[in-house]
Chain A
């Protein structure tokens, strides 16, 4: 079956957009083809720095003819009716219609119409310009004197169907069978017959079309280079994705870095290499630390074997690292604490004041939270005071990703600074500034000893955690207190000024902050009366909703969540325990049966509630219990109530669920043998009261009526 090959050749497409663009091209082309009545057997799409490519297999040369009979007027119909039929059926003369005899109605005309199939190339002629005009680039542009939009100037359209060029044009670009290869290693434009030929010629012109292939080449070459030098490549999938979008044909080069840079914090070196230079980082397996080398992926196979490229890159890297060293030395000349007043000049949010204001709120919050999480109040407050101070450093100005991480280093450096001999961790040497004047806050004395300082330094780094779903949760009490204080302050602040996340946007990352609070409380088992810290109702609901979504993602059924969340509670740990216990008990036979009984009771009560004269607030009168099953349920309930109360007191939701599940037998027996609607109204009301008691007991744990089935 014929094949269709499309290449959209442009100036360099941003690396981050290429993968998605190939997927979009495939989807758009598939949609357009199926809308036009085609069912391609196979389709693939590719992206490289200067091209988007799709190849479709199994298209017919033309779509099949469609036959259709069209019934016309009777033979003796008036002339205008017959003329109308001739026109409508597209005939030139009524003699082209056939006559059908019908003994009842009389003879009438029928026209045999054939809707001819359409040449596939003709359909493609319309599809291609449409696809180009409607391509969903995240950002697009115009160029020259044209009005067409594309991600960068579009130069060629290669469109070949079944060996022939699909005739189409857009904004002056006429489709052809011409492509070109690598910008520097290609040998000019070439004509293409089909996809196989195209791939062949591209390879000769130094373009590796398949990005997975390019990635594999980079990985393999990098590993070979490292092994030859007894080095270990630190794999980095994100960087690999980006780099493979910057090269048509990868050539991997190992470059050297001045080993004296290795006394900079490794995070700084790694970021400089990765973010600024797009280099892979290399480890020394002997020390486990970074090695003084880097891996760069070049787009060019240089005639000198890449010597100049390695040298040039090493020089650029040295300049970058010298900059970093300049920042590192400068930043360490003053203490972190002495930077705190500068935070008053940093705007946190127009309506929420400066970062200094935020820090003051965090100090207060951290002090209140500390006793609840087992942290020392003074330590927590001191860590909160210093938590944001690194935002004023040169290094964090250059690398915002290092907030917290640098604060930790600078705080550890404090010890080095305050020691007259200047001894310390070798990695910290080279600062050599004058000792700063360390002022202390009223509530927190200056750190005593290195353990204390280590705790505070770690808390400065860890209070941003968890940064994302894969990040860890702080484990040290001081870090936990500051992390909660920071997140709760942001959440309450932004909700108070009406900056809530919307479906489309969450500019202040409040979802992440809420999830952070939830994860810290859950993972560290902290019982927190959330409504105390979050007085704002909509914020409280927002946090609960994040929890509900998180639990749903973990596999809990929506109705189980509904039932457990129906019980008003503001303790995350307790809510999660309730959900887990409920899900667990529902898997047992007793649990599942009990639910049926509870729902039956709830239905009866709901019907009674509509009657005005009935009140729920009547206690059961033991003297009025007549039937055996009635007494059985009463006794069972007394036992269960005591057990549930005890279990709930100990936050043991499993035990509470078991106590409830034990009621299954008496509940079943009650509904099987006892008639609620006794002729004696006193007995009837007493039985209803018994059901109310059952419902109240069960609703201490969950609203069972919300469960499905």
Chain B
């Protein structure tokens, strides 16, 4: 599945190349369209966002679950990520309770994954001979799904624009083969490419619609919900229900729907946490409960992928 790729002059016409040719900075959606175009050319399945709330693109089953087992897999997708605690009522130029990640997974990682990644930057208008691109150590860990990997954050002129990870374990199980995972922080990347200081000033579509037009009111209202209007008693109840459902589905060997309910647990916990009603000891216990469910789903999925594989709990 690997092909050699030497960065040469841009060959493909993309949304970004058209904007750049017209002397304009690519819009937010130009970047998304170009990344999808580019990764489709690398053999990725272009997926749509997962339809349940997640805190990061990694939690999409196309990454978390597909990273396990022996089968080859390449996918790319945008994933809206919800982090209720990071909401700032639309008042902070850099922090959002809801934002986009562009997620790519290649399994096994091709030997030239770094070059593939750099070329993707080139296609959205970041020329490595004009900008200082650095691979800075960053070890990734997501205890909730028992996952970790080694890699870097990618810096462009001092700005972290992506994370680059070689998955070592998911659900406490070794990833064999190893997947390479790329996460682009789309807003940051776009702010960089467009030279914009406030996320809400981003040019969304190149035709007069800004990021603020699309999302500012959403940030305001969702912040009010996250911090003031959510019903902790209800959220706690729902957490219990979701947890029970997840356990039940795991008992029935239904890893995929079970994982959905584990994700719901995770999001409900994030809402409770944002509301400030979780004491530190409770916090630990909630995290442990989510981890048990999510890891359980991963293990179950891995068993379904390779029945022969020895699975340690």
Contact = CB atoms under 8 A, between A and B. Distances in A.
B20 interface: no
A139 B158 CA distance: 25
A14 B134 CA distance: 11
A118 interface: no
A311 B130 CA distance: 11
Nearest to B72: A145
Given A153-B166, A350-B281, A312 B157 contact: yes
A65 interface: no
A298 interface: yes
A635 interface: no
Nearest to A313: B158
B158 A246 contact: no
Interface stretch (A302-310, A373-381, A485-493, A513-521): A302-310
A312 B156 contact: yes
A183 B133 CA distance: 10
B131 interface: yes
B111 A144 contact: yes
A299 interface: yes
Interface stretch (B30-38, B135-143, B230-238, B252-260): B135-143
A210 B296 CA distance: 49
B4 interface: no
A240 B136 CA distance: 15
Given A308-B131, A319-B197, A14 B114 contact: no
Contacts of B151: 152
A345 interface: yes
Main secondary structure of the interface of A (DSSP, over half): loop
Given A11-B114, A145-B108, A309-B157, A299 B132 contact: yes
Nearest to B91: A326
Given A139-B139, A318-B197, A319-B93, A298 B132 contact: yes
A539 B151 CA distance: 42
Which of A16, A141, A183 has the most C-beta atoms of chain B within 10 angstroms of its own C-beta? A141
B280 interface: yes
Given A184-B128, A312-B157, A312-B158, A142 B137 contact: no
B281 A144 contact: no
A300 B135 CA distance: 13
A143 B178 contact: yes
B168 interface: yes
A326 B109 CA distance: 41
Contacts of A16: 137
Contacts of B177: 144-145
B48 interface: no
B11 interface: no
Interface in A311-343: 311-313, 315-319, 322-323, 326
B149 interface: yes
B286 interface: no
16 contacts: A49-B135, A143-B108, A143-B166, A145-B178, A153-B111, A153-B166, A246-B136, A300-B128, A300-B129, A300-B133, A312-B131, A312-B159, A319-B197, A322-B93, A326-B92, A345-B280
Interface of A: 11-12, 14-16, 49, 139, 141-145, 151-153, 155, 183-184, 246, 277-279, 296, 298-300, 302-304, 308-309, 311-313, 315-319, 322-323, 326, 345-347, 350
Interface of B: 92-94, 108-111, 114, 128-137, 139, 149-152, 156-159, 166, 168, 176-178, 180, 192, 195, 197, 279-281
Given A184-B128, A312-B131, 13 more contacts: A49-B135, A139-B139, A184-B133, A278-B158, A300-B128, A302-B130, A302-B132, A312-B158, A313-B158, A315-B159, A315-B192, A316-B157, A316-B158
